[in-house]
Structure 1
Amino acid sequence: MLKNFKIGVGGFLMAAADSVPGVSGGTIAFVLGFYETFIDSLNALIGHRFGERRQALIWLGKLGLGWVLGMGIFSTIITRVLETSPYTVFSLFLGFTVFAIPLVVKEEWKSINGHWGYALFIPLGALLVYGVTWIGPGTVVNLDHIDVLVALYLFVAAAVAICAMVLPGISGSTLLLIMGVYTPIITAVRNLFHLDFSALPILIIFGIGVLVGLGTTVKLVAAGMKHHRLAMVFFIIGLMIGSLFAIVQGPTALALPRAALSMGTFSGGWFLIGGAILGVLSAARYWMESQDRARSQA
Structure 2
Amino acid sequence: MKKLITLLHGFCMALADSVPGVSGGTIAFLMGFYDNFIGSLNALISGSKQERIQAVKYLIKLGIGWVIGFCSSVLVLANVFESHIYRVSSLFIGFIIFAIPVVIYEEKKVLKDRWKMSFFVLIGMAFVVAITYANTFVGGGKDLSNPDIGMYIYAFFVGAVAICAMVLPGISGSTLLLIFGLYIPIINGIHDLLHLNFHMLPILIVFGLGVITGIISIIKLIQNALTKHRGATVYLIIGMMLGSLYSVFMGPTTLENPQPAMGLHTFSIVFFLIGGVVILGMQGLKMLSDKNSTPANEPKAEVQAK
TM-score range, shorter chain: over 0.9
Encode CA deviations 1:225-263: one digit per residue, 9 max, x unaligned. Answer: 111111111111111111111111111111221111100
Give the Cα separation in 1 of the matches to 2:202 and 2:97: 36
1:122-141 superposed matches below 5 A: 122-136=121-135, 137-141=138-142
Pair 1:223-2:224 in alignment: yes
Give the Cα separation in 2 of the matches to 1:50 and 1:25: 27
Residue number in structure 1 paired with 2:75: 76
Encode CA deviations 1:13-72: one digit per residue, 9 max, x unaligned. Answer: 111011111111111111101111111111111114111111111111111000000111
Encode CA deviations 1:183-213: one digit per residue, 9 max, x unaligned. Answer: 1111111222223222111110001000111
Residue number in structure 2 paired with 1:212: 213
Pair 1:242-2:238 in alignment: no
Residue number in structure 2 paired with 1:119: 118
Pair 1:27-2:22 in alignment: no
CA contact (8 A) 2:87 2:267 kept: yes
Residue number in structure 2 paired with 1:179: 180
Residue number in structure 2 paired with 1:292: 293
Give the Cα separation in 1 of the matches to 2:127 and 2:120: 11
Give the Cα separation in 1 of the matches to 2:255 and 2:206: 22
Residue number in structure 2 paired with 1:283: 284
Residue number in structure 2 paired with 1:41: 40
Amino acid at match of 1:36: D
Offset of 1:6 from its aligned partner?
Answer: 0.8
Give the Cα separation in 2 of the matches to 1:44 and 1:256: 44
Offset of 1:115 from its aligned partner?
Answer: 2.3
Encode CA deviations 1:64-102: one digit per residue, 9 max, x unaligned. Answer: 000000111000111111122110000000000010000
SS of residue in 2 equivalent to 1:46: helix
Amino acid at match of 2:65: G
CA contact (8 A) 1:39 1:222 kept: yes
Give the Cα separation in 2 of the matches to 1:132 and 1:96: 21
Residue number in structure 2 paired with 1:157: 158
SS of residue in 2 equivalent to 1:218: helix
Give the Cα separation in 2 of the matches to 1:290 and 1:124: 36
- The number of equivalent residue pairs is 296
Give the Cα separation in 1 of the matches to 2:296 and 2:64: 27
Question: Which segments of structure 1 move beyond 3 Å, counting only runs of 4 or more?
Answer: 294-297
Amino acid at match of 1:215: I
Give the Cα separation in 2 of the matches to 1:154 and 1:57: 28
SS of residue in 1 equivalent to 2:293: helix
Residue number in structure 2 paired with 1:58: 57
CA contact (8 A) 1:18 1:25 kept: yes
Amino acid at match of 2:273: L
CA contact (8 A) 2:128 2:247 kept: yes
SS of residue in 2 equivalent to 1:219: helix
SS of residue in 1 equivalent to 2:209: helix
Give the Cα separation in 2 of the matches to 1:270 and 1:296: 42
CA contact (8 A) 2:114 2:232 kept: no
Counterparts in 2 of 1:265 and 1:293: CA distance versus 1, 3 Å: same
Offset of 1:296 from its aligned partner?
Answer: 8.0
Amino acid at match of 1:285: K
Please report the TM-score for the alignment, with normalisation by the length of structure 1. Answer: 0.96
**Structure 1 residues not aligned, in runs of 5+:** none
1:258-273 superposed matches below 5 A: 258-273=259-274
CA contact (8 A) 1:191 1:197 kept: yes
Counterparts in 2 of 1:295 and 1:189: CA distance versus 1, 3 Å: farther
Residue number in structure 2 paired with 1:142: 143
Counterparts in 2 of 1:101 and 1:199: CA distance versus 1, 3 Å: same
Residue number in structure 2 paired with 1:9: 8
Give the Cα separation in 2 of the matches to 1:168 and 1:251: 24
Backbone CA RMSD of aligned residues: 1.2
CA contact (8 A) 2:159 2:207 kept: yes
